[in-house]
Structure 1
Amino acid sequence: MSSTAFDGTPHAPAHARRFVRQVLGEWHLSHLAEDAVLLTSELVTNAVVHAGTGIELTCRLDVDASPAKLEIEVDDHHPTRTIPAVRPMPADGPAESVPLSGRGLALASMLADAWGVTYTRTAKRVWVRMDVTDCCDLQEAAPGVAGPLPAPVPGPLETLHVGVVICDRDGLVESWNTEAEKLLGWRPEQAVGKKLQDMVSWNGHGPYALSLDDTLGLGRWRGEARMLHAEGGLLPVYVSHLRTRGQRSSIWMVVADEHRDVLTPAPAPPRGETGGRIKDLLDHDMPFAELLDTVARIVQLSSGGDAAYVLLAADGGNRFGVAAGAGATAGLVGVLATGVLSSDRKAPAMVEDLLAADVELAQQLRARSLACAPLLVGGEVIGHIVVTAARPGHFDQELTVSLQHIADQVAVPVHRERLAEQDRAHRGRLSFLAEAGELLAGVHDEELLAALTAQLVVPKIATWAAVYLTDLAGMTRLAHVWHAEERHNADLRKSLPAIPRTAFDDVSWPVGPETVLSFPLLTQGRSHGALVIGRAEPTLPLELADLLADLCRLVALNLHTAMLYARQATTSRVLQRSLLPMRVAPMPGLESAVVYEPAEEGADVGGDFYDLFTVSDHWCFALGDVCGSGPEAAAVTGLARHAVRLLAKENYTVADIFDRLNQALLEEGEEGRFLSLLCGELTPLPQGGALCTIASAGHPPPLLLRTDGRVEAMASPQLLLGVEAGARFYVETFELAPEELLLCVTDGVTERRDGDRLLDDDDGLSVLLSGCTGLSAHAVAERVRHAVESFAAEPSQDDVALLVIKASAALRTVRP
């Protein structure tokens, strides 16, 4: 036996660690040193914090026992201070779920073979016992010493209901027991046949937030969820999932969250070599995220620090990102500054004042003290275990030895599981980005892009998301918000700044249960806004941060494309609008109507054009069709329309207009750019109606509807414009009597196709027009437009233009 005593000061744990290490070295029990020192540190820290008296430490070796046993006792002099009941360290959930007053004893229950408390009138003794060899599985408490304290079952037993839900491979509920009815209110006949996903609010778990369908495909899983109660609202529950053999059914055991311990029994103290207890604990088959969380909790509990982190190397090995955290962790994203935590540091380290050593890292961790140990595999640093505290000088060098012991035990299993997780994550990342790319591709509306982006990350990655957009003037505004529970959308929008007045890193986000993080939407050096997310988890794993960065680059690229598209569309629209008359000239005594529909999607002007204007004492009209479509055809359209109007204003005759325009097209040198044109003049007659002078260059002839329903073609076809330099054109005249109607169309009407059949086959257009007697010009135009649209199921592949002129009364003289 060996004993010593210390004052109840913050330095006592360090002195105790040195004493135990020295004693075990003298007793040739160095293989027990790491676990023993870890336990001693916690028992002494507990005594200093909760008793505040002097402390006596005793190490006792019982070599007569079988197997031999090492016992460590810590006595304080505050006997009335009792030890609280200790809950087992939870497999899931934050470390804060273990009360501060019991964290050291929770660690004792994990590492020691037995522990207990003895009370006297003047002292209280807490002891732990460890087997020196591995030849006996029995643990016996010493006479007069209390055995391990049982972990209480949380929540009253009267409210405990263990629901059993069985689903088929498609997620349809097949069985629903009475306990599930008591827990969730749904009767079996109501629940059976429903989709499980309709009854579960699923936020996902792990770095890539598996969907519910993916989780149902797992062989085994445990975790939190929220399920819909029959009376409305979501009930927090804890689920233990099992996939049956043959993958035919999924079985869910469900309890209220307050009874989660029923489905998460405390792990039995691991057996085997004492120095490998932590490694044995972590060798249990568990998800990678749970493995890292367990390591972080053990480190935080055993060190007495405010927070603990597991950092893992990013691609390249010289950057380290947060993979898990426990305690009062900061809201960390991505890569930490690597001044202290570098890939070259292969020994444990302790920094008394982080502000003096690495200001950037101190700000990121919101800490002053730091102790760390590298995770070494094959001589390479794959990560670090880090523990921090808010005040300087909180740790000592002895703690780094314990940290390195934990790091050595967990490095290999962490590395092995991370390689497997990276492979799964890589496939999940590619799948996620491919889905996002496909969803965002071809979307040219910024508001829709913002909505899709928010819904991509909620609830897979975040509890809520908001997208801010920055316009060309540099003004940033809140464009869209989305919460996992849609009923919170309105409140979320009210709580977020509508127009941020500062940089996103300096914005004061609403205080709530979630950690708020922002990611810029950057491309080609320009900011298009930011994606802001709220997560229940305090840290963001490096892989997830990289995934969000890739998503933000993809979104920013699509926003940039949308901006260019909008700018080009606006420019094109303005230019194209200049190719059409702003308004049709009023024609007293004549009624006119126009239909104009370009075939190209998003275009305002194609290869067809029209015009109707006054010249001196008469009116002029024109209807043309340029060979082809798109911008090239629109350029010829502009030339033709403006040339016709200019020449008519200079009092050129219709025949002269054709000659001059034919020459202009040939001088342009655009081979194959032909133009069909119908142009005419309307001169009012004293008795009413008008005298029409008209010419047609390769254009469908206009149709004249008489008052008795007869339809006549009124112009002979002539050579297309832009074909032959020596072509000569002539005009024809006819009288447009009152109540008669003239229909002028392009070939987009006459050649409207349905398979091998055209609309104008067998004089189809004339037959259609003959039934329009007595209709107004607008009614005729609408009837023809509808006939063109409904002639075939497929949309028209050609521009459509038509002009209707009807003499309605005696024409008054047009004044210049």
Structure 2
Amino acid sequence: MRAIPAQRETASRASGAPAREEEPPRAWADATLLGSSLAPASARALVRAALAEWTELGLPGTQAHTRRLADDTVLVVSELVTNAVVHAGTEIGLVCRAEEETGAVVVEVSDRHPARAPRDGASEPAHGSAEYGRGLTLVARLAECWGVTYRTGVKTVWARLPAEEHPDEPGAPTGPPPYAMPGPGRGRPERDGDWLDRGALSFLAEASDLLAGQLDEDLVAALTAQLLVPRLADWCAVWLEDEFTGRGRSPHGIPGTGPRLARVWHASENRIEELRRALEKEPPYPPDDPGPGSGPVPHPWPRAAPGEREPVGTALAYRLVAGGRPLGTLVIGQSGPEGFPDEVTGLVEDLGRRVALAIGAARQYARQATISAVLQRGLLPGAVAEIPGVRSALVYEPCDKGGPSGDFYDVFPAGEGRWCFAVGDVQGKGPEAAVVIGLARPWLRLLAREGYRVPDVLDRLNQLLLDDATEAADARARALVGPAAPGDGPQTRFLSLLYGELVPFDGGVRCTLGSAGHPLPLLLGPDGRVRTVAQPQTLLGVVEDATYTSETFRLRSGDSLLCVTDGVTERRSGSRQFDDGDGLAAALAGCAGLSAQSIAERIRRLVHDFGGRPPEDDLALLVLQAE
């Protein structure tokens, strides 16, 4: 959003006529947002920044603006954009302006491509689920007036929020929001019940945005504590449990058997460690089934609590449950005899639900990352075989988007004085790619050790990929991810493969290789000349009656063979690719005289330097150099 003091807001602007230059500057801002889950957070940040800038510039009408008006405006914009995301899902137009005479703020949120037809001008119904927003109920409560305007291809919801009539009177809400409680030892402001219908919702929305982007459960716990202290409590603690192993419900007093104290926070930082020691003595042991909506329960005030001669204060424990699984316990504490008002306990309960969802999402991400790492380790060789008379070097950099990489490699002994190597790339990633690699690599080794030559290995592997068993395995792998979509039946996966056989002899190595839909290998001579040493052939798993051939040549002392995947050749910089104009051959020519390891490292560095951003595809390259 741009806060544009020089932009004029006039009746002629609405009709399309140009603004008159002699008109004074007005408070006006607009933005275009993508209809994604991040749009409400972006809209809140942009509107708040614009309102602050207008006030700082002293634009007409902004002298009547207060913190409460800003909070209400941000909340209304958040609700309107949230609902627009649900209905539009593409671009969303946002306009915010201040009226010069009254200081009232008018906001407009437009669906640029609404997905639902208007229903006789009626307002959209509120949805029950939190992710759909609260409809227009909240907007109607906070706004003085609001409405819906339909034009071809555009639906606009607008709302007008009045400014305070006497913003300078004592008690006007221009200071910190009433939920911002000071630390212990200072006076607590009287909580404003009306704010809990306004600012509290904005607080929860912004807290949700902050928590939702975290992929580490310990970081979620840390952010939770800092959100609560000192706003709503003097101190906070977050215990985390393992939902798969009984969550540590062993008897009291056995070290290491209870829930893990992931975070402790106190308004006075010098008291944190002492509070931690006190809390670790009495971890929460809640019931096995907390039940939905069970609310907070009293928690023992920590014995020898920091700074307290007598154990005086109130502590409440909230179970963190997501998807029916207890994930931990959130405990807040307030020193003094007053305790927590009901509105604060309800607000923390709402926040606790969001915290539990964030912890559950972080754990799901961690589980998927672990599964991907285990699959990746199982799909690649534990070590690259040493070949007599040949030095080898390998670079393998999976992009790690959605699971195991689609690239793979292998170098292994095949018996009878033969060694084989392979560099492949499966179409797709994740479980589907893992199925193909899990079939291809063992079959390559088996066929090679059975004595099959390069063309025969490619022929048989092509038939294997076309077999119904592969399709069935592919379907089972996708079933692990989720329910299949309509028409989403088994699909054959394609494989590009460079496969070769090496036979050492006195003075060099005889190499026989074939390329099936793969970037062609390059041979670098000691004099710096580079040539291709294979012919292009069809991808594996595409044509049932394909017949594959191979080429044989000799690697003499100092010759280097470079094998890569398309993550190297198709590395992009704008509209250009790394291999445009034989770029890879030119890069390899500059490596004359280098060792195998130095060649691999230089090509890797050139590929990375070619684009301004990190590679977006898996990258694998293998260098074989005759000694």
Instruction: Decide: shared fold, TM above 0.5.
Output: yes
The CA deviation at 1:686 is 1.9
Partner Cα separation in structure 2 for residue 690 and residue 606 of structure 1: 31
C-alpha deviation, 1:422, in angstroms: 4.1
Corresponding position: 1:614 with 2:413: yes
- How far apart are the structure 2 equivalents of 1:743 and 1:572? 28
Residues 733-752 of structure 1: matches in 2 within 5 Å? 733-752=552-571
Name the residue aligned to 2:216.
Answer: 445
Q: Is the 8 A contact 2:301 2:314 kept in 1?
A: no
Q: 1:485 maps to which residue? A: 268
Give the alignment partner of residue 467 of structure 1, picking from 238, 261, 264.
238
Q: Matched residues in 2 for 1:786 and 1:490: separation? A: 46
The percent of aligned pairs where both chains have the same amino acid is: 52
Q: Secondary structure at the match of 1:718?
A: coil
User: Corresponding residue for 2:283?
Assistant: 500
8 A contact 1:478–1:499 mirrored in 2? no
Aligned partner of residue 578 in structure 1, secondary structure: helix
Distance in 2, matches of 1:743 and 1:627, equals 22
Partner of 1:542: 342
Aligned partner (choices 806, 810, 816) of residue 625 of structure 2: 806
Counterpart residue type for residue 516 of structure 1: A
* TM-score normalised by L of structure 1: 0.46
Is structure 2 residue 309 aligned with structure 1 residue 515? Answer: no
- 2:501 counterpart residue number: 681
Instruction: Give deviations 1:377-430, integer Å, cap 9, x for gaps.
Output: xxxxxxxxxxxxxxxxxxxxxxxxxxxxxxxxxxxxxxxxxxxx5442121221
Aligned to 2:97: none
Name 1:649's counterpart in structure 2. 449
Q: Is 1:581 aligned to residue 376 of structure 2?
A: no
Q: Kindly indicate whether the alpha-carbon contact (under 8 Å) linking 2:298 and 2:315 is maintained by their aligned counterparts in 1.
A: no
Cα distance in 2 for partners of 1:791, 1:623 equals: 23
Instruction: Name the structure 2 match of 1:731.
Output: 550
Q: Distance in 1 between matches of 2:356 and 2:451?
A: 56
Alpha-carbon distance change, 248 to 541 in structure 1, aligned in 2, over 3 angstroms: closer
Q: CA shift at 1:446, angstroms?
A: 1.3
Which residue does 2:139 correspond to in 1?
none
Deviation, structure 1 residue 711: 1.2
Query: Which of 652, 663, 674 is matched with 2:463 structurally?
Result: 663
- Choose which of 705, 711, 714 in structure 1 pairs with 2:524: 705
Counterpart residue number, 2:481: none
Structure 1 distance, partners of 2:612, 2:281, is 46
Offset from partner CA, 1:694-718 (integer Å, 9 cap, x none): 1111211111111111111111111
Q: CA 1:537–1:526 in 2, change beyond 3 Å: closer, same or farther?
A: farther
**Structure 2: how far apart are the matches of 1:701 and 1:499?**
66
Is residue 594–residue 802 contact of structure 1 (8 Å, CA) maintained in 2?
Answer: yes
Q: What is the SS of the residue equivalent to 2:531?
A: strand
Task: State how far apart, in whole Å, the 2-side matches of 1:748 and 1:288 are.
Answer: 61
- CA deviation string 1:284-336 (max 9, x = no partner): xx9865xxxxxxxxxxxxxxxxxxxxxxxxxxxxxxxxxxxxxxxxxxxxxxx
1:608–1:625 CA contact under 8 A, matched in 2: yes
The question of whether the paired residues in 1 share the 8 Å contact of 2:503 and 2:509 is answered with yes
TM-fit CA distance, 1:795: 3.0
Residues 652 and 768 (structure 1 numbering): CA distance in 2 closer, same or farther, change over 3 Å?
A: same
Q: Distance in 2 between matches of 1:618 and 1:498?
A: 65
Alignment deviations for residues 624-663 of structure 1 (CA, whole Å, 9 cap, x no partner): 1122333323322222222212211211111110110111
1:505-532 Cα distance to aligned partner (Å, 9 max, x none) = 5656234444333222223443222112
1:798, CA displacement in angstroms?
2.2
Question: Residues of 1 paired with 2:608 and 2:401: CA distance?
Answer: 15
Shift of 1:468: 1.0
Where do residues 3-82 of structure 1 align in structure 2 (5 Å cutoff)? none
Structure 2 residue corresponding to 1:428, chosen from 181, 193, 199 = 199
Deviations 1:157-184 (A, max 9, x none): xxxxxxxxxxxx99xxxxxxxxxxxxxx
Task: Report the secondary structure of 1:591's partner residue.
Answer: strand
CA distance in 2, matches of 1:757, 1:774: 29
Whether 1:754 and 2:547 are equivalent positions in the alignment is no
The code of the aligned residue for 2:615 comes to S
Cα distance in 2, alignment partners of residues 548 and 494 from structure 1: 24
SS in 2 for 1:596: strand
In the alignment, what sits opposite 2:424? 624
Q: Hey, what's the Cα distance between the residues in 2 that align with 1:468 and 1:520?
A: 10
**Does the CA contact (< 8 Å) of 1:477 and 1:498 recur in 2?**
no
Q: Deviations over 1:531-570 (max 9, x none)?
A: 1222134321111111111111221222222223322332
1:787 maps to what in 2? 606
SS at match of 2:443: helix
What letter is aligned with 1:545? Answer: T
Partner SS, residue 502 of structure 2: strand
Aligned counterpart in structure 2 of residue 526 of structure 1, from 325, 334, 348: 325
User: What does 1:246-257 correspond to in 2, within 5 Å?
Assistant: none
Alpha-carbon distance between aligned partners in 1 of 2:206 and 2:623, rounded to the nearest angstrom = 50
- Tell me how far 1:447 sits from its aligned partner: 0.8
Write the letter of the residue equivalent to 1:451: A
* DSSP-derived class of the 2:280 partner: coil
d(CA) in 2 for partners of 1:738, 1:643: 32
State the Cα distance separating 1:576 from its structure 2 match. Answer: 3.0
Distance of 2:231 and 2:217 partners within structure 1: 22
- 1:774 deviation in Å? 2.5
The one-letter amino acid paired with 2:302 is W
Q: Equivalents in 2 of 1:498, 1:579: separation in Å?
A: 46
Cα shift at 1:789 = 1.5
1:693 CA drift (Å)? 0.7
Change (3 A) 1:723 1:477: closer
**Cα separation, 2, equivalents of 1:485 and 1:287:** 19
Q: How does the TM-score come out when normalised to structure 2?
A: 0.60
Residue identity opposite 2:329 in structure 1: A
Secondary structure in 2 aligned to 1:490?
helix
State how far apart, in whole Å, the 2-side matches of 1:751 and 1:436 are: 41
SS for the counterpart of 2:372 is helix
- Residue 220 of structure 2 aligns to which amino acid in structure 1? L
Aligned length in residues: 404
Asked if the contact 2:521–2:561 (Cα under 8 Å) also holds between the matched residues in 1, the reply is yes
AA aligned to 1:673 is R
Deviates more, 1:450-459 or 1:548-557: 548-557
Alignment partners' CA distance in 1, 2:273 and 2:501: 62
Point out where structure 2 has 5 or more consecutive residues left out of the alignment.
Answer: 1-51, 54-166, 177-185, 249-258, 287-296, 472-489
**Which amino acid letter does the alignment assign opposite residue 444 of structure 1?**
L
CA distance in 2 between partners of 1:610 and 1:730 (Å): 21
Pick which of 455-464 and 769-778 moved more.
769-778
Instruction: Give 1:487 shift.
Output: 2.7
Secondary structure of 1:652's counterpart equals coil
Which amino acid in 1 is paired with 2:494? F
Distance 1:807 1:505, change over 3 A: farther
Decide whether the 8 Å contact of 1:500 with 1:507 is kept in 2: no
**Aligned twin of 1:173:** none
Question: Relative to structure 1, is the Cα distance of residues 434 and 646 closer, same or farther in structure 2, using a 3 angstrom cutoff?
Answer: same
Amino acid across the alignment from 1:491:
E
